[in-house]
Amino acid sequence: MDSNMRFFNTPDYPFMKAIFTLFLLLSIPYCLAAQAPTDTLRYVVLTNGQLSGKAWLLPQGHDVTGFLTYNDRGRGPKLTTHYTLNDQHIPLTLNVSGNDYYKNEVHETFRLADGVAHWKNADEKKDIPITKPAVYVSNVSGMDAMLTQALFAAPNHTVNLLPTGQSVMTQILTHSLKNGQPVTLWAIRGINYTPTLTWLDSKGYPLGSIGDFFVTIREGLEADIPELRRLQKAEDGKFYRQLARTLPEPIPQGLVVQNVNLFDAEKAQLVPAQTIVVKNGRIEQVGSAASVKIPAGYRLINGAGKTVLPGLWDMHVHFTNPTDGIIEVALGITEVRDMGNTDALLTLRNQIDSMQLIAPRIAVMSGFIDGKGPFSGPGLRVTSVEEGIQAVRDYKAKGYQSIKLYSSIKPEWVAPMAAEAHRLGMHVIGHIPSYMTAEQAIAAGYDEITHANMVMLNFLGDTLDTRSMGRFTNVAQRAAGLDLSGPAFARFVQLMQQKHIAFDPTASVFEQMFTSESGQFDPTMASVANRLPGPVQRTLYGQGLPVPMGMAATYKKSFATLLDAIKRLHDAGILMVAGTDNYAGYALHRELELYVQAGISAAQALQMATYNPAKLSNRLGDLGTLTPGKRADFILVNGNPTQRISDIRRVDYTIKDGVLYDSKKLLNSLSIHHYSEP
């Protein structure tokens, strides 16, 4: 179930924009003024346990008003809303204004009059006749209270949705808070991939939204958060364990994929007419279809016209939502590197390894460390180099393989923290701290650079404050003018070569941020948007940065410069790994397409999602290639992605530890259409 929906992701911590959407779609409506009147329902916004914002809700008969604001490293929304209801709690009018997470101006209106629904926002202008009552789902704010009030009052707790669909709310359990107030956990279906959990009071108003990192809660009820989270997670667990029991197909007798084209990930080339034999979770045989004998009783899959590849890696995720895991496995991802999370990650990893959840193996965990301050990211926050060194040791003790340093770390702390990480055998990666360049970070001990914008910032000097939006806007506005054929870039490439620095570009997030347009689907998801549930599709519009007047072409040229840098670094022999920090599963496919768009061959792009991650993660003994004795982690694709990279989207089966996952069944369980369906 989606107690933390992830329609959107953002660089550095992908579920932050998802949480913004969760808050908007499923939490609290917002108001016309920042000062709350008396008798309001007041809420606090907590990120990583720290106060980061506020919200309030004021119902007055048929009129409802509210307000929301929070700060996430200089980003975050400030939204005001007013809506009116009829006697059946169906919205008649809606007005939303303010700014969204990336500071884009927001203005949305809706009205229902004379049997026609009229709405307008940055992406849509619609006039739709309706014949039965329906609740408008805002493209900006969503209105949980607006939706939950209607569901709460409706017969069978069922309402029709505008523009499309139907939503049903089911009571899960009741609970008494510490103050004796009764609250109810409900599951709302029809607005996301899976039922969405929300806590309501006895009148149907939201109590809050309880996530691991991000929480909204009624003011004064903060002490109830741990128990509400525990109860919510227990219900989540029931749902996902049921899927994990019914969707995988164990193959105790063994599996054979016959007469298939096999991708040799080490050499980045295709080997035709091969047969691969699997037994007890391991690859037993690989060889020409003519020479491999098929053992009796093994399950046989005809691979004619298809390609088998090692399971894909996404080297930049923040795994919080089990729904994402199902999508990722369905789309061929068998391993991920988590790039910063709460300690809940350890529990999730154990649940995945014990097959209680369908999800990729969390092959690498990166401990997130940032300096304490107004722009701090999630994870451990430190106030001195001594605390930073201790944080490195703490992560090592918990089994983490790498550390991720973030933007508020003081530059002079990097070298001693990196030295301690290296002493403990840990990999050092991260954002380049504010007032530091990538070259300086490499000299101080970085082993890898994450995000292509961090490479571009190297050539904009060490005087920039990149703790907030500046790390995006400076690159969007200035990268177009950089000369990548000049000596500065050549020296940087040489330094990366000499120090054996790896690179995780996350290109798709910058295509999203620099090139998205209002009224158009986010380019990361444009080719698959029509496969998703209707309410989810509408969240995919225009996810870019605010673009100053007359600079749209510059932003797009800056993205082209990022792709040029990726190609040049690849050609220079820099070890590159495919990571996304973006939508689950689909973003990795787009990431590989962008590498090819940059001029890298399709086979080499696939190598960046198979062999290279296993090499960087010291897992080639078990993963990364299809050779006898290794884990049976591979995918069967309908087509030849070494010739046409977009064929990587045509996954039929994913095999992980010898267990078969039917891509169509997994996606259909989330109301997503498979590529093979109309």
pLDDT average, residue stretch 122-142: 85
**Residue 7 predicted with pLDDT over 50:** no
pLDDT of residue 33: 35
CA angle 240, 245, 246 (to 5 degrees): 100
- Distance of alpha carbon 43 from alpha carbon 206, whole angstroms: 10
Among 176-180, 203-207, 572-576, 611-615, name the one with the lowest average pLDDT: 203-207
At residue 458 the predicted structure's pLDDT band, cuts being 50, 70 and 90, is very high
338 within 8 A of 429, measured Cβ to Cβ: no
pLDDT given at position 16: 38
Instruction: Classify burial at 196, counting beta carbons within 10 Å of its beta carbon; exposed 0-12, middle 13-18, buried 19 or more.
Output: buried
Query: What pLDDT is stored for residue 1 in this prediction?
Result: 59
For the chain, give the percent of residues with pLDDT over 70: 94
**Tens digit of pLDDT for each residue in 71-111?**
887 778 898 889 998 988 888 999 999 988 888 888 999 99
The pLDDT value recorded for residue 231 is 94
CA 625, 644, 589, 532: dihedral to nearest 10 degrees? -130
Once rounded to an integer, what is the mean pLDDT over residues 53-65? 88
Average pLDDT, whole number, for the chain? 90
**Model confidence at 361, in pLDDT bands (50, 70, 90)?**
very high
Q: Phi-psi category of 39—alpha, beta or left, where left has phi over 0 and alpha has psi -120 to 50?
A: left
Q: Which of 578, 574, 442, 575 is nearest to 509 (CA)?
A: 578
pLDDT at 577 over 70: yes
Q: Could you give the CA distance from residue 658 to residue 558 in angstroms, rounded to a whole number?
A: 44
Lowest model confidence (mean pLDDT) among 144-153, 180-189, 380-389, 449-458: 144-153
What is the spatial distance between Cα 102 and Cα 542, in angstroms, rounded to a whole number? 11
The answer, yes or no, to whether residue 465 has pLDDT greater than 50, is yes
Q: What is the mean pLDDT of residues 168-175?
A: 95
Q: Are 458 and 437 in contact (CB under 8 A)?
A: yes
Question: Mind listing the pLDDT tens digit for each residue in 15-29?
Answer: 333 333 333 333 333
Pairwise CA distance, residues 341 & 662, whole Å: 29
From the list 633, 672, 630, 669, the residue with the least C-alpha distance to 653 is: 633
**The pLDDT value given to residue 379:** 76
DSSP assignment string, 617-669: TT-TTTSSS--TTSB--EEEEES-TTT-GGGGG-EEEEEETTEEEEHHHHHHT
Closest by alpha carbon to 251, among 297, 293, 210? 297
Confidence (pLDDT) at 260: 97
Write out pLDDT tens, residues 309-338.
999 999 999 998 999 999 999 999 999 999
Cβ proximity of 64 and 86 under 8 Å: no
Kindly report which listed range (212-221, 374-383, 564-573) carries the lowest average pLDDT score.
374-383
Task: Write down the pLDDT at residue 141.
Answer: 59
What is the arithmetic mean of pLDDT over 206-233?
A: 90
In the chain, the percentage of residues whose pLDDT exceeds 90 is 70
Query: Looking at residue 374, what is its pLDDT?
Result: 81
**Winning range, highest mean pLDDT, from 70-84, 193-207, 596-610:** 596-610
Structure confidence at residue 50 (pLDDT): 82
Domains of the chain: 15-166+209-223 (no CATH), 249-311+624-678 (2.30.40.10), 312-623 (3.20.20.140)
Q: 62, 63, 141: which is closest to 109 by C-alpha? A: 141
| Residue 20 to residue 53: CA distance in whole angstroms | 12
Query: Which position has the token pair 């007005």?
Result: 95
Full 3-state SS string of 575-629? CECCCCCCCCCHHHHHHHHHHHHCCCCHHHHHHCCCHHHHHHCCCCCCCCCCCCC
Please determine, for residue 10, whether its predicted confidence score (pLDDT) is greater than 70. no
Which one, of 190, 185, 144, 189, lies nearest residue 164 by Cα? 190
Instruction: Please report which confidence band the pLDDT of residue 184 belongs to, taking 50, 70 and 90 as the band edges.
Output: very high
Q: Is the pLDDT of residue 179 over 80?
A: yes
Q: 21 near 539, Cβ under 8 Å? A: yes
HSE of 445, CA atoms in CB hemisphere, 13 A: 21
